[in-house]
């Protein structure tokens, strides 16, 4: 019988079926770092969405046989420590292939069409005072005919490209920053920064992408360009982004992720009211449909591993 422990069950607020195999199931809404080892000491399988499983914790869990990450990103697991003891780690893939691209497009549309500014002006009574039938305020731009550079050509990047093309956008995929030649349909990273009207991030957070968009990159972008991040917060330097928005050098930013989550009260992007900044609380993935697919895939990963057919292994 497998002993399965879900460390942060409240991070997946949909029904999740139990595995169709002999098991004992233990779940906790959330788990503090100091409680990880105690709660997992007898576990064969540990499920974690965002609870950190570092080298110290893994060393204290000799009975552990599988880590099932309830997300695509595996930054919360020390993969080197897991590999050193041949401990398999599996993750979730493709579950938000509609939810995240739709969220990215929503942010693009809202920023290009100045939705936050018009909502503010309406609340202030500006339309009622207009001499015209409509309110001419902040400039409105179409997506049609604009150039979108996508960083990350995986499932989410490809789906976003398809939606953008349906709006009439020209889509380019960014080569890795270190690349010196661009493949067909791709553009060198620095060239794309200069050409793009909109940049949408869909890449993982790793040593290569951490701080990928900083002051230098923002300075290279068009002054009216829009940046959308539905990937990971650490990819963007938040201080540099805020400075670019406040100085008028960047047209807008839509952020569904922040460097620290949940953010602290003094988080730089939450302490300002800017018409060209939209922050959503890491919910691009969280449609009912997407979360339900995640839950089914999570249990399917455990069942596949238990019958000797592991899938979605990381590393």
The single residue of 232, 259, 293, 312 carrying the catalytic annotation is 232
What is the spatial order of strands in the sheet that 2-6 belongs to? 23-27, 2-6, 45-48, 66-69, 89-90
Q: How far apart are CA 224 and CA 226, in angstroms?
A: 7
Q: How confident is the model at residue 258 (pLDDT cuts 50, 70, 90)?
A: very high
Strand partners, 26: 5
The single residue of 119, 261, 289, 311 carrying the catalytic annotation is 261
Average pLDDT estimate for 205-214: 94
Tell me the pTM: 0.90
293 is catalytic: no
Per-residue pLDDT reduced to its tens digit, 81-123: 999 999 999 999 999 999 999 999 999 999 999 999 999 999 9
Contact 263, 233 (CB under 8 A): no
Per-residue pLDDT reduced to its tens digit, 276-298: 999 999 999 999 999 999 999 99
- Does the structure show a pLDDT above 90 at 265? no
Q: How confident is the model at residue 212 (pLDDT cuts 50, 70, 90)?
A: very high
The single residue of 159, 282, 293, 312 carrying the catalytic annotation is 282
232 is catalytic: yes
Burial of 17: CB neighbours in 10 Å, binned 0-12, 13-18, 19+ = exposed
279 vs 207: which has the higher pLDDT: 279
In the DSSP assignment, the letter for residue 17 is: P
Contact 265, 80 (CB under 8 A): no
190 is catalytic: no
Alpha helices, DSSP H only, in 1-78? Answer: 36-40, 55-59
The domains of the chain, with CATH numbers, are 2-95+289-306 (3.40.50.720), 99-279 (3.40.50.720)
């Amino acid at each position: 019988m497998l002993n399965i422990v879900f460390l942060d069950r409240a991070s997946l607020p949909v029904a999740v079926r139990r595995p169709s195999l002999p098991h004992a199931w233990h779940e906790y809404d959330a788990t503090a770092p100091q409680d990880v080892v105690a709660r997992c000491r007898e576990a064969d399988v540990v499920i974690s969405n965002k609870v950190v499983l570092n080298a110290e914790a893994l060393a204290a869990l000799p009975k552990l046989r599988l880590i099932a990450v309830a997300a695509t990103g595996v930054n919360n697991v020390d993969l080197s420590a897991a590999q050193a003891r041949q401990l398999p780690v599996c993750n979730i893939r493709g579950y938000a292939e509609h939810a995240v691209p739709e969220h990215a497009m929503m942010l693009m549309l809202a920023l290009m069409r100045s939705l936050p500014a018009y909502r503010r002006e309406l609340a202030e009574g500006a339309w009622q005072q207009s001499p015209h039938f409509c309110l001419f305020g902040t400039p409105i731009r179409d997506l049609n005919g604009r150039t979108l550079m996508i960083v990350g050509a995986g499932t989410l990047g490809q789906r976003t490209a398809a939606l953008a093309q349906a709006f009439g956008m020209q889509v380019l995929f960014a080569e890795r920053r270190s690349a010196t030649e661009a493949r067909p349909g791709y553009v060198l990273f620095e060239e794309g920064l200069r050409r793009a009207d909109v940049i949408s991030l869909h890449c993982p957070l790793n040593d290569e992408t951490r701080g990928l968009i900083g002051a230098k990159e923002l300075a290279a972008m068009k002054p009216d360009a829009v940046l959308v991040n539905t990937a990971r917060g650490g990819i963007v330097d938040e201080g540099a982004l805020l400075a670019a928005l406040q100085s008028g050098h960047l047209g807008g930013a839509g952020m569904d992720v922040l460097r620290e989550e949940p953010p602290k009260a003094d988080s730089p992007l939450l302490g300002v009211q800017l018409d060209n900044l939209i922050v959503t609380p890491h919910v691009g993935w969280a449609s009912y449909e997407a979360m339900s697919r995640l839950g089914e895939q999570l249990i399917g990963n455990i069942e596949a591993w238990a019958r000797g057919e592991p899938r979605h292994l990381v590393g």
